[in-house]
Amino acid sequence: MKQLTLSLILTISIYPLIAQQEKQPADSADLLQEVIVRGYENNRKLAEIPASVSIISNYQLNRFNNTNLLPAVNANPGMRMEERSPGSYRLNIRGSSLRSPFGIRNVKVYYNDIPYTDPGGNTYLNQLGYYNVESMEIIKGPGSSIYGAGTGGVVLINSDPVQFKRGVSADLAIGSFNTRTYHAGLRGGNQDLHHSVNFQAQQSDGYRDHTQMNRKVFTWDASAKVGEKGILKAHFLHGDLYYQTPGALTAAEYANNPKAARPRVGQTPGSEEAKAAINQKMYLAGFSYQLKWNERWQNTTALYGAYSRVINPTTRNYERRIEPHFGSRNVIQYQNKIGNSLLTLQGGAEIQEELAIVRVYANKQGSPDTLQTDDELNNRQFILFTQASLDLPGNWLITGGLSLNQLKVNLRRLSYPMSEQGRKYHNEFAPRIAILKKIRPTLSVYASIAKGFSPPSNGELLPSTGIISTNLEAEKGYNFEAGARGNLLQGKLYFDINSFYFQLKNTIAQRRDFSGGDYFVNSGSARQNGLETFVSYRLLNDNNRFLNSIKIWASHTWNNFRYKDYQKVTNDTLVYSGNKLPSTAPHYVSAGLDIGSKRGLYANITYYYCDPIPLNDENTDYASSYNLTGARIGFRKSWINKYDIDIFGVADNLFNVKYSLGNDINAFGKRYFNAAPGINFAIGASLRFAY
């Protein structure tokens, strides 16, 4: 215990030395006044964005456990991040996990303006550690008018701090299940030329059998002012991740021992016997160059290249994937006054290409055996987009956008029987139009109509069953949305509320066979209605008092997602029409209490509720509802804007609730359940120094 206490006190962190209370938004209410939103290439304040956008700031990330992004994401309405085991994440925006046995699909992700989602539609978010994210912008619903294919939404991840400052720091957190997280970094240079180097490592034994995890991430970021009008940025990321996959349990197995890994069933080995695991390595390098030609014209160009390798022994086979890909994104902007109005025009293109090799072998206790399939995949995705915004007198804003999306896929099977299949997903025009009215500087209402288009990903065209599925059709549909956000009561009350109606055609749904292999089908059309609400209220904001800050907040998500016309694999039938879409609960609630003191003591208390979740298309099986409570208490203080210390303790699932997170949907043999951790604790510390 003495060694642990000493290590916490001596921990030094390399995070940029910015006192969070001074440099970061104090709470959600300040977002309307301070934060510039990059979404839709507008660079506007949140009050001027005619779309449903959630901002996850550094302040929000630091009110939880400093080990993963899940609790901060789930505090926002319309989003649900799941963890089947340490390192195995899923992100659901408005029901998009219907297509995701793991990872992220149907959502477009950018990392420092570089496309992070590969052209095959997969996003390895689990390669990013907690300290790779300074802030996130999440656009809910189709962003096709400027970001291309995807009906779920868009995630913009930023690793740069709000303001650059030279510094050194290191962070340490130690918790239950032998979980340890380390971070160290260095920032040097000045405002015109600076760089940062960061390294973080995380390991855990996991809360179930066969759930060990080890992740290491190294990043280098640099920014240079080029002349008077240009900014050149460079980014490099290397991630090395290994985690064991315990597999899902039946209801009886889950009730008997929720911590158990999947057992042997007949000829299918258990997860431990098969040494089921994921071993990922990823390299990402990219550049972006912004040039402001004059007061009217500017251009931003991004180039990147990436390489990922995935080794995945499972209970049914042993898969090796190599996925190199590269791409470019270019945006030109023109802005000019027309009388009393301001016209902003943007146009650009994004192109990505991937050359993947996928080999599947028989699994011999975690080692490759007989070759089963040998496939090459070539994906080429092209997006051409344009957007116009007109700021009119009377605080009206009208935005219209249009994109042309194209995906060409070629799959070549080199193992016997050899074959070659191709598919060109036809050019899809994806329009979006939105209108916003600012009733006052910090209060606005908006409405929008957008078309979404989402072709199948590599994981759906060539799922773990090994059956090539180029017959899958792309999802498409129209989204209608209206919302309001603003500050009331002299800035004490902040609210953000929106409702949407999304009618989706050719809905892609996941199935699982007896051995745990997944495959996908177009299951007809779906109707998705929802209401998303976030409210926060400052009870106290007085620096002269011992307790100088008290805030309460709550978010609520209501989903009514149902099949409209359901189609089975072998025959058309309406027997499931009107059923709830599996994987999405009708109600989610998150709420919190944040307390700060003049002396640096603070407390963050969080509550989370989830309704029962349908687990299959028939709606005969459900995951039970659950209530979670967590808390973080600590001491955070800054001195002379050079030293910043944060010592904290965290307790999650305080009442030791038993629940399943990251359920396997439409699983063969009703093998749905992945137990989440019971009560768990962590302590950590950060000491930062700026020079």
Domain ranges of the chain: 2-690
Stretch among 233-237, 300-304, 432-436, 560-564 having the lowest mean pLDDT: 560-564
pLDDT exceeds 90 at position 679: yes
pLDDT band at 92 (very low <50, low <70, confident <90, very high): confident
Q: State the pairing for strand pair 153-158/107-111.
A: parallel
Whole-number Å distance between alpha carbons of 254 and 266: 19
CA end-to-end span of the chain, whole Å?
32
- At residue 689, what are phi and psi to the nearest 5 degrees? -135, 130
pLDDT of residue 13: 32
Mean pLDDT, all residues of the chain? 88
Residue 131: both structure tokens together: 């300290």
How high is the pLDDT of residue 37? 86
DSSP 315-369: SS-EEEEEEEEEEEEEEEEEEEEETTEEEEEEEEEEEEEEEEEEEEEEEETTEEE
Position 237 scores a pLDDT of: 97
DSSP string, 541-584: E-TTSSEEEEEEEEEEEEEEEEEEEEB-SSSB--TTTTPBPTT-
Specify whether the CB–CB gap between 220 and 286 falls below 8 A: no
Q: Which amino acid is at 53?
A: V
Phi and psi for 146 in degrees, rounded to 5? -140, -15
Measuring CA to CA, how many Å separate 526 from each of 107, 193, 461, 481, 521?
Answer: 18, 51, 21, 17, 14
- The band of 7, judged by pLDDT with boundaries at 50, 70 and 90, is very low
Mean pLDDT over 19-29 rounds to: 42
- pLDDT at res. 164: 84
Q: Give 457 or 240, the one with higher predicted confidence.
A: 240
Q: Note the pLDDT of residue 304.
A: 97
Is residue 102 pLDDT above 70, yes or no? Answer: no
CB of 557 closer than 8 Å to CB of 588: yes
Q: What is the pLDDT of residues 485-539, one digit of tens each?
A: 999 998 899 999 999 999 988 888 777 776 666 777 887 888 999 999 999 999 9
Which tens digits make up the pLDDT trace of 531-551?
A: 999 999 999 999 889 999 999
What count of residues does the chain have? 691
Instruction: Give the distance between the most distant pair of CA atoms in the chain.
Output: 77
Q: What is the pLDDT of residue 523?
A: 79
Task: Please tell me the class of the 2-690 domain.
Answer: mainly beta
Residue entry with tokens 């892609």: 508
Residue 14 has pLDDT above 70, yes or no: no
The pLDDT score that the predictor gives to residue 434 is 96
| C-alpha to C-alpha distance for 232 and 659, rounded to whole angstroms | 47
635-650 tens-digit pLDDT: 999 887 788 999 999 9
Contact 181, 171 (CB under 8 A): yes
Reading the block at residue 79, the tokens are 């989003």
Residue 635 in tokens: 């001491």
Q: Quick one: which of 527, 475, 530 has its CA closest to 505?
A: 475
The pLDDT assigned to 282 comes to 96
Per-residue pLDDT at 449 exceeds 50:
yes
Number of helices (H), then strands (E), in the chain: 9, 35
pLDDT at 195 over 60: yes
Over residues 147-185, the pLDDT tens digits come to 877 788 899 999 988 778 899 999 999 999 999 999 999
- pLDDT on residue 33: 59
Question: What is the phi/psi pair of residue 354, to 5°?
Answer: -135, 140
Question: Across 245-316, where does the E strand assignment appear?
Answer: 277-292, 297-313
Residue 121 has pLDDT above 90, yes or no: no
Q: pLDDT tens digits, residue range 245-295?
A: 999 999 999 999 999 999 999 889 999 999 999 999 999 999 999 999 999
pLDDT at 53: 92
pLDDT of res. 30: 60
Quick check: 548 and 540 in contact, CB under 8 A?
yes
For the stretch 656-668, pLDDT in tens is 999 999 899 888 8
Of 33, 47, 138, which is closest to residue 436 (Cα–Cα)? 47
pLDDT > 90: what percent of the chain?
A: 66
Report the range of poorest mean pLDDT among 20-34, 114-128, 244-258, 518-532: 20-34
pLDDT tier for residue 9 given thresholds of 50, 70 and 90: very low
Q: How confident is the model at residue 27 (pLDDT cuts 50, 70, 90)?
A: low
Task: Give residue 8's pLDDT.
Answer: 34
Band of pLDDT at residue 21, cut at 50, 70 and 90: very low
- Give the HSE-up count for residue 208: Cα atoms under 13 Å, Cβ half-sphere: 35
Mean pLDDT, range 323-331, rounded to an integer? 96
Q: What angle do CA 44, 133, 128 make, to 5 degrees?
A: 135
* Tokens 């799959």, residue located: 411
